[in-house]
Amino acid sequence: MRSSGAAGSRRLPLRSLGRATRMSVPVKRSIWVLTVVAGFLMAALAYRRLAGEHKLVALLNGDQTVDIVSFETKYQQRRLLCTDREALAYLKEMFLKHPMEMTNVGGFSYYGYFTFTGGGYYGADMYIGTNGFNISVSSKAADEGYPTHSVLLRPPIPEKVRQIFDFLNEPNQRVAGTVLIMKEGKNLERQHDASLVAR
């Protein structure tokens, strides 16, 4: 009887090992699928950014077929979310008419995101003042984040654009935690996000 029990105890690890071996196949397949998906997503994001930089450079070079569909900023304890076509059309014109030489128009340091019609987005270091901004295009910059182009606000400046740049230049004490939302056909909206406030 003992030998029968001992034999049973010897067979149990073999059965367990068999189950573990059978389970490893779908696990490995799942890991492979996740790796492929992650690689595809990273490649897609890289392509979108490359396409976005290409469109931003084209806009700075005078390509009027490039349209901006959104402009967002982060940092300085506040955020801007703008999809208003009038404001974005004005910014497009200012990109097209930017001065050939750098100016001292920049002020507060932000990270800005632009998205374009037909796909493509671009995130860049921006230095924003009340009358325009300096922006860094990485392929043109001597160093990471170094400004490469100045964009000036030229009159007449739409009221919506003036509100955006006044907001981005307000002291932190007044607007910390504020999200300014400007949408097409909607009233200007301010929301509070406590996570933006420095602690």
Positive or negative: CA dihedral 139, 143, 149, 152: positive
Residue 199 has a pLDDT of 86
**Partner residues linked to 121 by β-bridges:** 115
Q: What is the C-alpha separation between 32 and 27, in angstroms, rounded?
A: 9
Which is higher by pLDDT, 167 or 106? 167
Residue 168 lies in a domain: yes
Give the residue-averaged pLDDT of 87-101: 97
pLDDT at 112 over 70: yes
Please identify which residue in the block is written with the tokens 């230095």.
127
Q: CATH no. for residue 174? A: 2.60.40
Residue 18 lies in a domain: no
Residue 164 has a pLDDT of 97
Which is higher by pLDDT, 155 or 199? 155
Domain range for 100 is 57-196
Please identify which residue in the block is written with the tokens 């400046």.
157
SS3 call for 197: coil
Residue 111 lies in a domain: yes
Q: What six digits make up the tokens of 173?
A: 């004490």
Q: What is the C-alpha separation between 20 and 57, in angstroms, rounded?
A: 55
Q: How many CB atoms neighbour CB 155 within 10 A?
A: 4
pLDDT at 13 over 60: no
pLDDT at 85 over 70: yes
Domain count, the chain: 1
Residue 41 lies in a domain: no
Predicted confidence band of residue 106 (pLDDT cuts 50, 70, 90): confident
Residue 41 has a pLDDT of 45
Residue 104 lies in a domain: yes
Residue 7 has a pLDDT of 47
Is there a cis peptide before residue 13, judged by omega within 30 degrees of 0? no
Residue 102 lies in a domain: yes
Give the residue-averaged pLDDT of 183-190: 94
Residue 171 lies in a domain: yes
**Partner residues linked to 113 by β-bridges:** 72, 123
Residue 175 has a pLDDT of 97
Q: pTM here?
A: 0.77
Q: Are 145 and 136 in contact (CB under 8 A)?
A: yes
Residue 22 has a pLDDT of 53
Query: 171, 169, 167: which is closest to 191 by C-alpha?
Result: 167
Residue 98 lies in a domain: yes
| pLDDT tens-digit readout, 21-34 | 555 666 666 665 56
Q: What is the C-alpha separation between 176 and 51, in angstroms, rounded?
A: 33
Give the residue-averaged pLDDT of 162-182: 97
pLDDT at 87 over 50: yes
